[in-house]
Amino acid sequence: MTLCLALLAVSVGVRLALALGTDVYFDEAYYWQWAQHLDWGYYDHPPLVAWLIAVLGIRPTALLCGLGTVAAVWGLARDVYGQREAAWRAAALWSLVPVGILAGVWSTPDTPLLLCWVLALWALYRERWVLAGLACGLALLSKYPGVLLAAAFVAACVRARRLPAGAWLTALLGVLLFLPVVVWNARHDWVGFAFQLKHGLGGTGGWRTFGEFLAGQLALGGPVLLPLTGVYILRGPKEQFLLRAAAAAPLLLFGYASIRTRGEANWPAAAYLSACVGIAGMRPGWFRAAALANLAGVLAVGSHLFFPLLRFERDVPLSRTHGWAELSRLSEPSRLFPGLTREDVAVVYAPSYQLASEVAYYTRLPTDTAGGARRSQYDLWPEPVPTPGQDALWLSEGRSPPDELTARFSSVEGPVELPADFRGRRVHTFTVWRLRDAKP
């Protein structure tokens, strides 16, 4: 018990330090942009993360959902084992899973998905069908892979050769909650479904991308937790088949997808929720090994984010968590281009939705993507069009404004460099161009 409480305390401290000591990450800024345009769906994901950000704010959403997820893991484990000791082990272990910390600090669709997933799993385990339906529906409103929980439940029913009558009520409630997202997709040429299918299964892959998937799971799941998850899935208690299936479904689907295309390491995050419950029932030594291995990794990466001692040619963690606040200088464009006022800037263009969203968050100026940017929600929103005579800005990290954009203006001025440093490290070098006098 003492070790569990200590691990939970460290997890809380790490989460608060990261939430308060890092800049808004570009995916968070993108979802904040969604929160300024509330809807039933978006190009990339369903809407729940945007709704929560609109109500709670960016970091409070992540912190509160993260706390709720840890508490729900505790409750599920208590009911599975009928004892508090196992519940504390499960909660402590989950609190230090790297992918869970990420979702509990930075608001992404995984943030509400993980909470709703474990709540739904808990309700299904206890056969509380109304609560299960509500939680499953909210999981689907968080992220499309929430449907994998239904696949796990069906697999458990097939194995038990029993389909409880109340499960139909669960399915009905889940579908009803998700139906507005389907309607939104139908009105937008099914872009959300099509994007996720292409993003998750399209492209090219092979054994190399599968190896990257495994490496990502070792990093974000844990070097000891991942193999223990495999043991739990294959050899766990028969009465925990639903939990084992809920761990297997995301790993199997996204493991297969990684052979077809390069994916993201966070995609199977929900697998580790029930895995932590399962590992809590194993020998205490395995729990300690998994928890302490993750603790070491979390502290190592966390310390690097605040006090970087090692130097890397491309320090992705540092560049993703620091330096973005420097973009707030764009809110006073006269500091970069004398005579240019905020009111003169009709829009700030960027080559990616990530940069455009960071600019929008830190400046509150209208933004848009240009120059061959990957399709995103920006392509569904009305395009901000400068009126004749107005100016615009182009911001990138080294890219010149594209010809099709400069052709819409009378002249181009720049670039002006906007460096962003953290503890003596250059994490970003933004370049800004002024696009003068929009043509009729």
C-alpha 18/C-alpha 304 separation (Å) is 11
Q: What is the pLDDT of residue 203?
A: 72
pLDDT in tens, 26-67: 999 999 999 999 999 999 999 999 999 999 999 999 999 999
What would the pLDDT profile of 345-380 be if each residue is shown by its tens digit? Answer: 999 999 999 999 999 999 999 999 998 889 999 999
For 146-240, where are the alpha helices, taking DSSP H only? 147-160, 166-187, 191-201, 207-220, 225-235
Neighbour-count burial of 376, counting CB atoms closer than 10 A to its CB (0-12 exposed, 13-18 middle, 19+ buried): buried
Q: What is the pLDDT of residues 396-420, one digit of tens each?
A: 998 999 999 999 999 999 899 999 9
What is the per-residue burial (b if ≥16 Cβ within 10 Å, else e) of 101-124? bbbbbbbbbbbbbbbbbbbbbbbb
- What SS3 class is residue 432? strand
- Cα separation, 94 vs 79, in Å, equals 16
Listed in order, strand segments (DSSP E) in 244-402 are: 345-350, 367-369, 391-396
314 has a pLDDT exceeding 90: no
pLDDT band, very low/low/confident/very high, at 261 (cuts 50, 70, 90): confident
pLDDT in tens, 82-103: 999 999 999 999 999 999 999 9
Residue 110 pLDDT greater than 80, yes or no? yes
What pLDDT digit, counting tens, does each position of 168-191 carry? 999 999 999 999 999 999 999 999
pLDDT (0 to 100) of residue 42: 97
> 66: closest CA among 26, 23, 108?
108
- Give the mean model confidence (pLDDT) for residues 384-403: 94
Quote the pTM value.
0.95
| Residue pointed to by tokens 């973005």 | 324
Q: In this predicted model, what pLDDT tens digit does every residue of 195-229 receive, in sequence order?
A: 998 887 777 778 899 999 999 999 999 999 999 99
